[in-house]
Amino acid sequence: MALIVQKYGGTSVGSVERIKNVARRVAKWKAAGHDLVVVPSAMAGETNRLIALAQSLQQHPDPRELDVIASTGEQVTIGLLTMALLELGVKARSYTGWQVKVLTDSAFTKSRIISIDQDKIRKDLKDGYLAVVAGFQGMDDQGNVTTLGRGGSDTSAVALAAALKAEECHIYTDVDGVYTTDPRLVPEARRLRTITFEEMLEMAGAGSKVLQIRSVEFAGKYKVPTRVLSSLTDPAIPVAEEGQSGTLITFEEDPNMAMEKAVISGVAFNRDEAKITVHDVPDRPGIAYAILGPIADAHIDVDVIVQNVGHDGMTDMTFTVHRNDYAKAMKLLKDQVKPHIKCRDVTGDERIAKVSIVGMGMRSHAGIAAQMFRTLAEEGINIQMISTSEIKITVVIEEKYTELAVRVLHKAFELDQA
């Protein structure tokens, strides 16, 4: 008998029939003797519908009021799922974010969880109830409704699992785990039975959309064993089998497993970014801030940043931003930054892709980067930018080579081999 937190995504609760399926699945785990806390998202499409409604009144909706509206999607689902459980004879009770007291900061539409009050849930579990808690939402210390931003239900679930010291956090989604790369691009992609927290973090940052990056950070910080698994399998599949399915995010590297573990765990990619280069800036302290400060002030996120050694007292700085922010960033740099820092030019390119290889094994193996670059060179793919972390190597290439690069890297690092 263990305490398990299970999160079900919007597709998993996207219709009345699917909600009934989730209830059957949850009831099965309960019947197997486990204590359950269930965190559903809003029904698929509902959050988008609510945001569109808000935008029909304000082009840039007031963040406080947007959270009041957007949080209703999850509130409806907790009621519906609880009813489905009651209908199966399972004792259950729903809680909104403010009822559990998921305390967050006041950064509306992208709040961060500060603490979670466990009293009500602990009492319910003790009384044999199952708690259904709304994901994505919380309350600040002024009693305002807050939301955690896109994919926030993952974070809610992991945070609840951490607060309750749950044995495992199950993230049910419409894929059956974390793959070596996107199976839509590479049919040979394999499901990973385990992945370390650090690898998962790099995969999420590099473009794998299985888990929201903040939930992975939370899982890492509080060492919550988190399993990604599919809600589209038969709900009647035995608990013993289902509990071993999907991909488990681990925290301790098992030395025995490391022996046979592949050097690289996966290939991730992202086509949502654009590249900007500021040419011939004076190579002196403070120049990076003079360029990126105004970008940050305009709430534009910057991803890969590369600055090479200078020449003749000048250097170039290149970085990537989300494509939605590209035009805004270019205008800002040309109109405000360029006159100020007196650089030669600002150029950009939207047709780029970011491709990364990720793996804990990289730490102890030399030559991984060389092998990556040779593989790409053999296909005539030019590398525009390179950035590395301890367990990830990222290159920026021309967008049209994305599929080719992912496929050849997947093969070169033998990710298609079991």
Our finding on whether 394 is near a copy of itself (CB under 8 A) is no
73 vs 220 by CB, closer to a copy of itself: 73
Candidates 162, 135, 139, 140; CA nearest to 151 is 135
Our finding on whether 24 is near a copy of itself (CB under 8 A) is no
> Site residues for a copy of itself, window 295-354 (CB under 8 A)?
none
Of 54, 161, 210, 358, the residue at the interface with a copy of itself (CB under 8 A) is 54
Phi, psi of 25 (to 5 degrees): -65, -45
Our finding on whether 76 is near a copy of itself (CB under 8 A) is yes
177/183 Cα distance (integer angstroms): 11
Our finding on whether 79 is near a copy of itself (CB under 8 A) is yes
Candidates 370, 372, 331; CA nearest to 348 is 331
Candidates 113, 298, 301, 124; CA nearest to 214 is 113
Residue with token string 């059957």: 24
In angstroms, give the least distance from the CB of 47 to a copy of itself: 12
Element (H, E) at 319: strand 314-322
In angstroms, give the least distance from the CB of 393 to a copy of itself: 45
Of 13, 19, 38, 397, the residue at the interface with a copy of itself (CB under 8 A) is 19
Our finding on whether 188 is near a copy of itself (CB under 8 A) is no
Our finding on whether 207 is near a copy of itself (CB under 8 A) is no
Our finding on whether 217 is near a copy of itself (CB under 8 A) is no
Our finding on whether 90 is near a copy of itself (CB under 8 A) is no
80 vs 397 by CB, closer to a copy of itself: 80
What are the helix (H) ranges across 164-254?
197-205, 213-221, 239-242
Residue count of the chain:
418
Candidates 290, 312, 150, 140; CA nearest to 215 is 150
Residue with token string 């929201």: 212
Our finding on whether 130 is near a copy of itself (CB under 8 A) is no
Of 16, 114, 298, 377, the residue at the interface with a copy of itself (CB under 8 A) is 16
Within 13 Å, how many C-alpha atoms sit on residue 351's CB side?
A: 4
- Interface residues with a copy of itself (CB under 8 A)? 16, 19-20, 50, 53-54, 56-58, 61-62, 64-66, 68-69, 71-72, 75-76, 78-80, 82-84, 86-87, 93-94, 96, 98-99, 143-145
